[in-house]
């Protein structure tokens, strides 16, 4: 073989080796690229995003209703004492636990009457003198006194308190019995100068009274 032919063979072999090396580098780069891409895909796919849920708190509406300090007269007052004679009197007491107004209430000893006014604290009492009123002389021999929420003295819906004493003169007794503020055939034995309630509530019979 000539020298020229030998040189040609050597060049071909060298070229083949270079080509093979280039091919290997290309495959390595390709493999690396694929590996990198796969890794990035995996990382992206595996990522978890957590979005906190929005929480809205609505405060509860609160309604405050102020209470009227004046109680209804029908649940508040009672006749607590009766004094006899020309200097007699009728005492009214606030038997509730709230300040209350007497305005609009009436005392009636049939056929006389007297409209009340003023304000009483819990447990407070006030006397209305017979000489200064229109309910007449209070006679220990017999009589009756009613406490009303209006001037409709014949109405069982209006009467809220009653006391009868002695053997006669028990005006509006039927009205009081119908309303449940006095018991039938009950009257206080008035042998003293006055009658005094012994009950913390409005007495509805003679048992709730004592002679003073």
**Cα–Cα nearest to 105, from 144, 58, 73:** 73
CA angle, 44 then 50 then 53, to 5°:
155
If asked whether residues 159 and 205 sit together in one domain, one would say yes
* Residue 56 within any structural domain of the chain: no
Residue 2 is predicted with a pLDDT of 52
What CATH number has the domain bearing residue 139?
A: 2.60.40.1260
**pTM for this predicted structure:** 0.64
Spell out, as residue ranges, where the chain has pLDDT lower than 50: 18-49, 58-59, 61-74
Identify whether 65 is part of a domain: no
Residue 206 lies in a domain: yes
Q: What are the tens digits of pLDDT across the range 41-70?
A: 344 444 444 555 555 554 454 443 434 334
- CB of 102 within 8 A of CB of 96? no
Look up tokens 């003198």; give the residue. 129
Same domain (yes/no): 109, 147: yes
* Within a domain: 169: yes
Structural domain boundaries enclosing 14: 1-43
Same domain assignment for residues 38 and 95: no
Q: Are residues 84 and 37 in the same domain?
A: no
Residue 31 domain flag: yes
pLDDT in tens, 120-149: 999 999 999 987 777 777 889 999 999 999
Give percent above pLDDT 70 in the chain: 65
Total number of domains in the chain: 2
Residues 87, 165 within the same domain = yes
Half-sphere exposure of 65 (CA within 13 A, CB side): 2
What is the C-alpha separation between 92 and 123, in angstroms, rounded?
10
């Amino acid at each position: 073989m000539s020298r020229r032919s030998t040189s040609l063979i050597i060049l071909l072999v060298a070229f083949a080796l270079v080509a093979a090396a280039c091919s290997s580098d290309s495959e390595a780069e390709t493999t690396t690229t694929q590996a990198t891409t796969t890794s990035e895909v995996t990382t992206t796919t595996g990522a978890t995003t957590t979005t906190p849920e929005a929480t809205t708190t609505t405060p509860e509406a609160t309604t405050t209703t102020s209470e009227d300090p004046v109680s209804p007269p029908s649940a508040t007052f009672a006749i607590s004492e009766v004094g006899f004679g020309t200097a007699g009197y009728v005492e009214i007491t606030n038997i509730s636990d709230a300040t209350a107004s007497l305005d609009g209430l009436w005392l009636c000893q049939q056929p006389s009457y007297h409209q009340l006014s003023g304000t009483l604290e819990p447990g407070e009492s006030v006397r209305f003198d017979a000489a200064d009123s229109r309910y007449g002389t209070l006679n220990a021999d017999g009589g009756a006194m009613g406490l009303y929420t209006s001037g409709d003295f014949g109405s069982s819906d209006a009467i809220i308190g009653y006391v009868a004493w002695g053997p006669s003169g028990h005006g509006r007794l039927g009205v009081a019995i119908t309303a449940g503020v006095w018991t039938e055939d009950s009257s206080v034995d008035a042998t003293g100068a006055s009658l005094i309630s012994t009950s913390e509530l409005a007495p509805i019979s003679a048992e709730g009274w004592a002679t003073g």
